[in-house]
Structures are given as C-alpha cells and as structure tokens.
Amino acid sequence: MLHKFRVLLLLLAISSVTAFAQDERELTEEARKQYADGLKEAAAAIGNKQYESAEEKLNALLAKRPREPRARFLKGVVEADQGHVDAAMTAFRGLIEDYPELPEPYNNLAVLLAQRGEYDNAKVALETAVRTAPDWSVPHENLGDIYARLAALEYAHAAKLDKTNKTAPAKLALVRDLLASAAPPKPKT
C-alpha cells in the first residue's frame, strides 16, 4: 500500500538543502547548529510518538523562521500522525505552493488524499512528485498503488455494467488480491 510519510524525514529534517542555502546564510554558524539540533530533536520526538514535545519544538523553530521548509514539513507530519488530516493537508499544500521543487510534500499529500479515497487527486500529486524526483522510488511505488486502486474501481464498474462479462470480475479479484497482500503503510523515520 502507500508508503506513509517520513521516508526521507530525517534526510529532509537534518540535511542542508541547496535550495535553501540563502536562507541558511542569514544565520550564524552557531544559530544554524542550534536550529539543526532542534529539527533533530523534533524528528526524534515524532519517531517516539511524543507529538506534544515535537509540536512545541517545531512551533518554537517556526516562530524564528516561519518559512523554513523542514520544520513546516515536520509540522505536517505531526498533524497527520495525530489524525489532524485537514491541518496536515494544509501544511503540505503550503509547502507545495512555496517550494514546488520538493517531492516529499506531494507524496505525503497524496497519501492523505488516497486515505480519503481521492485517488485521482492523489495520482496527480504523485505524478508531480515523480517528475520532481524521478530517482526516488517511494512516489513511483505509491503511484503504482494508486493505479491498482483505480483499476479495481474500473473493473468493478465494468462488471456491474455487464453481468455477462467474465474477465472484469477475474481482473478485479487479481487486483484485490494484490492490494490485500501488500503490507499496510507504516511510518518511517
């Protein structure tokens, strides 16, 4: 099934992303280190399901640098993990608007859309993630899962329209078996 969030969480949260180098230059070396340490602490708290602690740390970081994408991304993950889907979607959409070159928000938004059954919208988000990061396997796999779900819907529709059709129900059974055999999405840190 769809790989849920955080596949590149630590990489995103800890690494220096070239696109944001200009943002980073505004900080002293010590301030950059403190900020990076704060991101590490928040990511660790998320990994330990200590969402209140993570949220406090992220809110403090975002108060200093409200446009910083790594903290915003982690904030979206916290929201999603706590079941605040609308808030998480808003966070990921805001990142997409401000930083369309980042694939992770597209992927995470797609997972949330798919959970709501919005497969066409999830497909669009994943296709964008694939174009943005063609060498990252996660959105490719997630897109395959979306295609399988869309195929199941179409096979079911075809079988409903034509009760004499023998191939559509057989294909539907194959796709359902495929989807059932896939492990459920698990958060990764």
Q: Classify residue 42: in a domain, yes or no.
A: yes
Residue with tokens 């975002």: 62
Per-residue pLDDT tens digits for 93-109: 999 999 999 999 999 99
**3 assigned to some structural domain:** no
Cα(100)–Cα(96) distance, rounded to whole angstroms? 5
3-state helix, strand, coil in the chain (%, to 5): 75, 0, 25
pLDDT of 189 > 70? The answer is: no
Q: What percent of the chain has pLDDT over 70?
A: 83
Q: Which two tokens stand for residue 184?
A: 């459920």
Q: Is residue 167 part of a domain?
A: yes
Backbone angles phi, psi at 16, to 5 degrees: -90, 115
More confidently predicted of 72 and 17? 72
Beta strands in 54-173 (DSSP E): none
Distance of CA 164 to the CA centre of its chain: 41
The predicted structure's pLDDT at residue 2:
56
Res. 16: pLDDT tops 50: no
Q: What is the pTM of this model?
A: 0.83
Separation CA 130–CA 186 (nearest Å): 21
Residue 147 maps to a domain: yes
End-to-end CA distance of the chain: 17
**CATH code: domain of residue 25:** 1.25.40.10
DSSP 8-class letter at 129 = H
Report how far residue 12's alpha carbon sits from residue 29's, in angstroms, rounded to the nearest whole number.
Answer: 19
Residue 186 falls inside a structural domain? no
pLDDT tens-digit series, residues 43-59: 999 999 999 999 999 99
Look at residue 4 and tell me if it is in a domain: no
Q: Which residue has the tokens 């966070």?
A: 91
Question: What does the alpha-carbon distance between residue 4 and residue 86 come to, in Å, rounded to a whole number?
Answer: 16
In a domain, 36, yes or no: yes
Q: Which domain holds residue 79?
A: 9-181
What percentage of the chain carries pLDDT values higher than 90? 77
When divided into structural domains, the chain yields a total of 1
Q: Is residue 48 part of a domain?
A: yes
